[in-house]
């Protein structure tokens, strides 16, 4: 038997090639029934041995095609989703509970820990996805953890009644992540991990969540380092006063959806929401009663309670945990989010919707003309504002405090990525970092494997020590040096620095020319 003992009870895992895997460990009580739309609650202790040999269900979600939710529920998903997975290379043998030999983690190993938070626009994904399983991290001496958390309506429904009940609203998915990281800090020694050497990281929405945790005083001391791949909560769609993360917009949209479900923003209405089908709530989040698709995002909300607007838009003058930081972006982050058939009128309308009063200057700087299609311009703006500029305040703040800060620019364009037509797109780096399914991004050749070996080794080095390796220049606010990662990694100045700093001003809600 493979087993480990947590604060809540003993869990049964399985032995893999070079590590022990414990899957589907509950880090909170199931958020169902009366616990729906409430902060996560500490798991109840159990007697006996809990079978953790298979993944817990990912958060309830709709089946998605090309990032667009469909009307059907993903069958493997569930409202009962607050589980995490641990893979540890630190283990030995002991006398079995039922005779024979058991495999158990070496609780004295104190290996570095990596907690990965998956992306998916807060609407899709889960820790059971093959890409996120992290086998190579475990095989290379890292205790690897990934987590599920509530998403879309069940994670980010924003009613004032929830605020009266729980002193926050619209951020249950963020509270889940905080709860999971706290569970790791309190229990990871049981799996051979070092609670004083935890790195929390994520990609896209996972990076947004990581950046929020960096700014929560309630997360102080839970982790030592952070990795931001492709963005922070400063992404413009999440915090601009015209964006979906704004409390007025989120509360108004949530009230409208509740009304369509026959519920009000009141104790009675919330009771009704907790009694109805979770699947119906998820569908209503994305589809109007007439069946048309609702343009509704699932983003954390600046509620002024869990975290404040002032805290997130400018961490240089507000609270930010002292951590080492590895951050970076891909060259063509915005391409998969823009419509290739977008007209100039569509482009102008979308920029105006997102940027409001700032749109005129942005459209002047990035005109759709003979040299640049509306698709190219929209892709560029999305990439610069949503996935690149928002990480700079975190890097500047922490480097200014003397923390280890390193940045990267991923620019390895394989033949397959070229044929896709989206360039070195969003998410493309993940297969190389995790050394998983390289063929999916065209990296399953000698050159691609070399890039993957370098990236994975760099991530492991950073998780262990806070330094990814000698090839990496330290990032400093005044110097702004990154590592450009392609076939021949080399140091470079922050690309398109002036444009990124311009979007940073917008994200920080500062006045100035766009």
Give the domain ranges of the chain: 1-321
308 pLDDT more than 80: no
Binning pLDDT at 50, 70 and 90, where does residue 241 land?
A: low
Confidence at 244, pLDDT banded by 50, 70, 90: low
Region 402-408 average pLDDT? 97
Task: Write phi, then psi, for 330 (nearest 5 degrees).
Answer: -100, 155
Q: What is the pLDDT of residue 305?
A: 62
pLDDT at residue 309 above 50?
no
pLDDT digits (tens, 9 = 90+) for 324-346: 999 999 999 999 999 999 999 99
Reported as type and span, the H/E element at residue 382 is helix 374-386
pLDDT of 513 higher than 50: no
Q: Residue 440 pLDDT more than 70?
A: yes
- Return the pLDDT at 505: 86
Tell me, what's the pLDDT at 311?
42
CA distance 385 to 350: 14
pLDDT at 17 (0 to 100): 92
Q: What percent of the chain clears pLDDT 70, i.e. is strictly above it?
A: 92
Q: What is the pLDDT of residues 461-475, one digit of tens each?
A: 999 999 999 999 999
Q: Categorize the per-residue pLDDT at 136 as very low, low, confident or very high, splitting at 50, 70 and 90.
A: very high
Q: Which position has the higher pLDDT, 245 or 246?
A: 246
Please name which of 63, 62, 59, 110 lies closest in space to residue 89, comparing C-alpha atoms: 110
Mean pLDDT of 232-245: 65
pLDDT exceeds 60 at position 240: no
Residues 498, 500: Cα–Cα separation, whole Å = 6
Do β-strands 83-88 and 20-26 pair in parallel, antiparallel, or remain unpaired? antiparallel
**Mind listing the pLDDT tens digit for each residue in 249-295?**
888 999 999 999 999 999 999 999 999 999 999 999 999 998 888 87
Nearest Cα neighbor of 502 from 493, 492, 511, 491 is 511
Q: Is residue 53 predicted with pLDDT exceeding 50?
A: yes
The mean pLDDT of the chain is 91
As a whole number of angstroms, the distance between CA 169 and CA 156 comes to 7
For position 507, what pLDDT does the model report?
81
Percent of the chain surpassing pLDDT 90:
78
**Catalytic residue list:** 204
* Range 176-201 average pLDDT: 98
The CA–CA distances, whole Å, from 301 to 238, 298, 484, 486 equal: 8, 9, 33, 36
Residue 381 CA: distances (Å) to CA of 83, 330, 506 = 36, 14, 12
- 93-107 pLDDT, tens digit per residue, is 877 777 777 899 999
Give SS3 for 305: coil
CATH T-level topology, domain 1-321: Rossmann fold (3.40.50)
Above 50 in pLDDT, residue 73? Answer: yes
* pLDDT tens string 362-390: 999 999 998 999 999 999 999 999 999 99
């Amino acid at each position: 038997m493979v087993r480990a003992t947590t604060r809540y009870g003993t869990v049964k895992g399985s032995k893999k090639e070079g590590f022990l895997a414990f899957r589907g460990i509950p880090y909170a009580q199931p958020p169902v029934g009366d616990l729906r739309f409430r902060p996560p609650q500490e798991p109840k202790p159990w007697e006996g041995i809990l079978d953790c040999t298979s993944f817990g269900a990912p958060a309830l979600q709709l089946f998605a095609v090309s990032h667009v939710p469909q009307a059907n529920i993903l069958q493997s998903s569930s409202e009962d989703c607050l589980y995490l997975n641990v893979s540890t290379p630190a283990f030995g043998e002991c006398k079995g509970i039922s005779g024979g030999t058991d495999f158990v983690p070496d609780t004295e190993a104190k290996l570095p820990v990596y907690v990965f938070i998956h992306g998916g626009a807060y609407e899709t994904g889960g820790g059971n996805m093959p890409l996120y399983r992290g086998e190579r991290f475990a095989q290379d001496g890292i205790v690897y953890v990934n987590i599920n958390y509530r998403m879309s309506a069940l994670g980010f429904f924003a009613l004032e009644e929830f605020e009266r009940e729980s002193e926050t609203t619209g951020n249950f998915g963020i509270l889940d992540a905080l709860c999971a990281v706290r569970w790791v800090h309190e229990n990871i020694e049981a799996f051979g991990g070092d609670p004083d050497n935890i790195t929390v990281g994520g990609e896209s929405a996972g990076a947004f969540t990581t950046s929020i945790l960096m700014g929560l005083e309630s997360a102080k001391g839970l982790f030592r380092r952070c990795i931001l791949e492709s963005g922070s909560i400063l992404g413009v769609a999440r915090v601009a006063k015209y964006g979906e993360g704004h409390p007025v917009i989120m509360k108004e949209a949530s009230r409208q959806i509740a009304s369509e479900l026959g519920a009000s923003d009141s104790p009675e209405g919330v009771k009704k929401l907790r009694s109805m089908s979770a699947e119906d709530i998820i569908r209503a989040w994305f589809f109007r009663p007439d069946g048309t698709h609702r343009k509704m995002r699932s983003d954390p909300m600046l509620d002024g309670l869990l975290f404040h607007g002032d805290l997130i838009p400018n961490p240089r003058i507000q609270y930010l945990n002292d951590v080492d930081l590895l951050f970076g972006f891909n060259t063509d982050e915005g391409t998969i989010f823009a419509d290739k058939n977008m007209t100039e009128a569509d482009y102008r309308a979308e920029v105006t919707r997102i940027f409001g009063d700032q749109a005129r200057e942005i459209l002047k700087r990035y005109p759709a003309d003979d040299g640049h299609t509306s698709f190219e311009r929209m892709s560029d703006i999305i990439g610069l504002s949503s996935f690149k500029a928002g990480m700079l305040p975190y890097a500047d703040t922490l480097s200014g405090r003397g923390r280890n800060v390193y940045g990267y620019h991923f620019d390895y364009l394989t033949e397959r990525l070229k044929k896709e037509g989206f360039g070195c797109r969003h998410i493309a780096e993940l297969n190389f970092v995790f050394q998983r399914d390289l063929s999916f991004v065209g990296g399953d050749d000698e050159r691609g494997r070399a890039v993957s070996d370098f990236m994975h080794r760099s991530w492991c080095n950073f998780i262990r020590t806070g330094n990814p390796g000698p090839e990496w220049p330290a990032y400093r606010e005044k110097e702004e040096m990154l590592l450009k990662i392609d076939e021949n990694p080399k140091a470079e100045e922050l690309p398109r620095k002036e444009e990124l700093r311009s979007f940073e001003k917008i994200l920080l809600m500062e006045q100035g020319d766009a």
